[in-house]
């Protein structure tokens, strides 16, 4: 029953996180910043800040139970932004003084992530032209 409750909390946190991400991104994208939309950046940075804060609280054992931490980090922030998890993993590698893997993590996530966006665009265009 505890596993079901935890999964339900993750699902509910994910629902709230995704709705808040879309809403906050839309609000931030109305800022007069020219062609650059700051919504995604704002959400990603806020997500990273929240992830670090909540992880530190949980790590210091300051009144955060495991199911609540999982629901907040995995559910809410997982849906709010996966960038927060990427940022956290990179920082953890750095904190463990594993600088090479921290750099590899940083470069591969960003480089391959951007490359995969281009690959997805190319695949969609190829399928559209073929069909």
Q: What is the tens place of the pLDDT at every residue in 16-39?
A: 999 999 999 899 988 887 766 788
Tell me the C-alpha distance between 56 and 73, whole Å: 12
- Please count the CA atoms within 13 angstroms of the CA of 67 that sit on its side-chain side: 11
Q: Same domain, yes or no, for 40 and 71? A: yes
Measured in whole angstroms, how far is the alpha carbon of residue 55 from the centre of its chain?
14
Supply the pLDDT for residue 100: 94
The answer on 63 and 19 residing in a single domain is yes
Residues 63 and 113 in one domain: no
- Total domain count for the chain? 2
Provide the mean pLDDT of the chain. 84
For 112-128, how does the pLDDT look when each residue is reduced to its tens digit (9 = 90+)? Answer: 888 888 887 888 878 77
- Report yes or no on 46 lying in a domain: yes
- In terms of domains, do 76 and 25 share one? yes
Residue 114 Cα distances to 22, 70, 77, 110, angstroms: 21, 28, 22, 6
| Residue 13 or 71, more confident | 13
**55 domain residue, yes or no:** yes
40-56 pLDDT per residue, tens? 888 888 888 888 888 77
Using CA atoms, how far residue 83 sits from 12, 46, 52, 65, 109, in Å, is 20, 10, 12, 23, 10
109 and 50 share a domain? Answer: no
Together in a domain, 67 and 104: no
User: Domain range holding 118?
Assistant: 97-131
């Amino acid at each position: 029953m505890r596993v079901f409750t935890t999964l339900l909390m993750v699902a509910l946190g994910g629902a709230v996180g995704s709705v808040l991400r879309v809403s906050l991104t839309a609000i931030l994208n109305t800022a007069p910043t020219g062609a650059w939309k700051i919504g995604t950046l704002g959400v990603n940075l806020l997500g990273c800040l929240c992830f670090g804060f909540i992880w530190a609280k949980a790590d210091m054992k300051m009144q955060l139970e495991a199911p609540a931490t999982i629901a907040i980090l995995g559910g809410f922030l997982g849906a709010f932004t996966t960038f927060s998890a990427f940022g956290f993993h990179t920082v953890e590698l750095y904190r463990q003084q594993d600088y090479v893997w921290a750099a590899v993590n940083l470069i591969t996530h960003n480089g391959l992530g951007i490359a995969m966006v281009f690959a997805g665009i190319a695949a969609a265009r190829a399928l559209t032209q073929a069909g």
